[in-house]
Amino acid sequence: MKLYDECRDCLYNSQMKKVEAMHQGDERLQSFKEAALALCDGAPQTSCAPLLMRGIDGVHRAIFGGIIDYSEQKHAFNQALLALEDDIYSRISAADAPVKEGIKYAMAANYIDYARISDLDKNSINEVMDAAARSVVDEEVYALFTKKLEGASTLAYLHDNCGEIVLDKLLIRAIKAAYPRIKVISVVRGGPIINDVTRADAEEAGLGKLAMVVDSGAAIPGTYLPETNALTRAFLKNADVIISKGLGNLETLYGDLNGAFYMFMCKCNHMAERFGKNLWETAFVCD
């Protein structure tokens, strides 16, 4: 997907709030602002938001000597959702169609995104629960999804953010309960970037109990095929079903993975318009 002006402004503003909070009074802050703004202004439309975010983080590393650190927020959201895990799964498993119910929660959890919303806190979980309650799963896409699951032996699940991954895990649990022969491969980021999921975060969330966890090989808040490792590319090539979570994966993959299923929340105007949704509405689409 191309890089919209809205993406440049959104990424710059959200990360600037975080960096200003991290480095209050640091004389290097102005240098970071100028370099990050120049990077955003100069990024070509042929780029995409996840690559631009990787660039902003690179500027931070060069000036401050480390990443833009979201470790505290990642841990907080993982723990907050883990505390609700049993209750949420009881709702999913009690539904007439547990897999469909699991999709609602997984889509809604995409709200937990520090690239888009800079002032998230634990109260944001209420927004996730409200979004899950009002989510509608596209029946045509869902029918195609379940048809593929019926004949599948492998599922590649491309994860997005921390906290969100706990509800991804519950969807995987529902899928495995309905289709026990399916083996799930969970793909996480190849290194820390924003509040995206790494191997360590997946371990904290207990994802390895249900899936084989691998990393993409790249610290990009998406799955950018030219920079993924050979293992990830092989899994994506051979998987019977692919689930792509979040806007970062959508922006790096849409149109390149024939038949993949995308679950996300429309957190910006151009995504809402592109997929015929309202702003902050969830979406379940197939490429």
What pLDDT is attached to residue 169? 98
On whether both 185 and 80 belong to a single domain, the answer is: yes
On whether both 128 and 17 belong to a single domain, the answer is: no
Containing structural domain, residue 280: 71-286
Mean pLDDT of 65-76: 95
Residue 151, Cβ density class (10 Å: 0-12 exposed, 13-18 middle, ≥19 buried): exposed
Total structural domains in the chain?
A: 2
Does the global pTM surpass 0.85? Answer: yes
User: Residue 44 pLDDT more than 80?
Assistant: no
On whether both 78 and 148 belong to a single domain, the answer is: yes
For the stretch 151-168, pLDDT in tens is 999 999 999 999 999 999
For the stretch 97-134, pLDDT in tens is 999 999 999 999 999 988 777 778 778 899 899 999 99
User: Residue 206 pLDDT more than 70?
Assistant: yes
On whether both 223 and 83 belong to a single domain, the answer is: yes
What pLDDT is attached to residue 149? 98
On whether both 203 and 98 belong to a single domain, the answer is: yes
On whether both 20 and 152 belong to a single domain, the answer is: no
User: Residue 143 pLDDT more than 90?
Assistant: yes
On whether both 36 and 134 belong to a single domain, the answer is: no
**Taking all residues of the chain, what is their mean pLDDT, rounded to a whole number?**
94
**How far, in Å, CA of 259 to CA of 54, rounded?**
27
pLDDT band for position 258 (50/70/90)? confident
Residue 284, Cβ density class (10 Å: 0-12 exposed, 13-18 middle, ≥19 buried): buried
Q: Which residues pair with 286 in a beta bridge?
A: 261
On whether both 179 and 39 belong to a single domain, the answer is: no
Mean pLDDT of 249-278: 92
Residue at a domain's end among 16, 38, 64: 64
Mean pLDDT of 222-237: 96
On whether both 47 and 167 belong to a single domain, the answer is: no
Residue 69, Cβ density class (10 Å: 0-12 exposed, 13-18 middle, ≥19 buried): middle
On whether both 128 and 262 belong to a single domain, the answer is: yes
On whether both 56 and 89 belong to a single domain, the answer is: no
Q: What is the CATH number of the domain that holds 233?
A: 3.40.50.10880
Q: Which residues pair with 215 in a beta bridge?
A: 188
Residue at a domain's end among 64, 81, 112: 64
On whether both 265 and 196 belong to a single domain, the answer is: yes
What pLDDT is attached to residue 1? 60
Mean pLDDT of 36-54: 88
CB atoms under 10 Å from CB of 60, counted, come to 23
Mean pLDDT of 225-243: 96
